[in-house]
Amino acid sequence: MRVVSGKCKGHPLKAVPGQSTRPTTDKVKESIFNIIGPYFDGGLGLDLFGGSGGLGIEAISRGLDKVIFVDIDQKAIHTIKQNVESCRVKEQVEIYRNEAEKALKALIKRELTFDFIFLDPPYFKQKLEALISIIDSNRLLNQGGRIVVEHSTDVEMPDSIGDLELIRAEKYGITAVSIYKYSERMNEEGGNELV
């Protein structure tokens, strides 16, 4: 596992010890960023199931200003800290040990909104629709932003969740990637503002 492209290109990344966390392969990571990027001119990201930190660090390497990492697993938090340190991007991150829904509530209180939200939960804990509904109803995603969902291929993601629509779905072996954004109608109406 390594950083695929950008300012940290080639940097090796440690994996979380044990079997509970499944890191995104470099091939899948590269495919994701080719779809949503491949490079960014600033912006804020949220990696809600941080794991080893691979997706968020890749996003920083490719130009995001900052990424907030969340994971419930202490070993994952420790691994993210090590990887952030070795890639020298410590100034561009916040790292929290928390459960996903509680973390979203805390971010809502802070009135933060994100350009990219990465959801890559352990495959046996699928709460994806519920989490995306929270993101949608609280307008945590910026207009023009993207939610990148990684899940197992036997999980069918809906075409829309609230005002968010599925714009791309890809399969890579046992891994599927679904990408959501606000519908064009929402963008035209400027409906993605906090009311």
CA distance from start to end of the chain: 42
pLDDT value at position 60?
98
Structure tokens at 162: 């609230």
Q: Is 165 inside a domain boundary?
A: yes
pTM: 0.92
Range of the domain at 32: 26-189
**Is residue 193 scored above 60 in pLDDT?**
no
Q: Assign residue 162 a region: left if phi > 0, alpha if psi is -120 to 50, beta otherwise?
A: left
- Asked if the model's pLDDT at residue 195 lies above 60, the reply is no
Model confidence at 181: pLDDT above 80: yes
Contact yes or no for 122/155 (Cβ under 8 A): no
Residue 107 lies in a domain: yes
Flag whether 8 is in a domain.
Answer: no
Instruction: Tell the burial category of 107 from Cβ atoms under 10 Å away from its Cβ (0-12, 13-18, 19+).
Output: buried
Q: What is the pLDDT of residues 21-44, one digit of tens each?
A: 777 888 999 999 999 999 999 999
Inside any domain, residue 68: yes
Please indicate, yes or no, if residue 173 is contained in any of the structural domains: yes
Domains identified in the chain, total number:
1
| Residues 110, 160: Cα–Cα separation, whole Å | 27
* CATH number of the domain where residue 173 is located: 3.40.50.150
Query: Quick one: pLDDT at residue 24?
Result: 84
Identify whether 20 is part of a domain.
Answer: no
Residue 187 has pLDDT above 90, yes or no: no
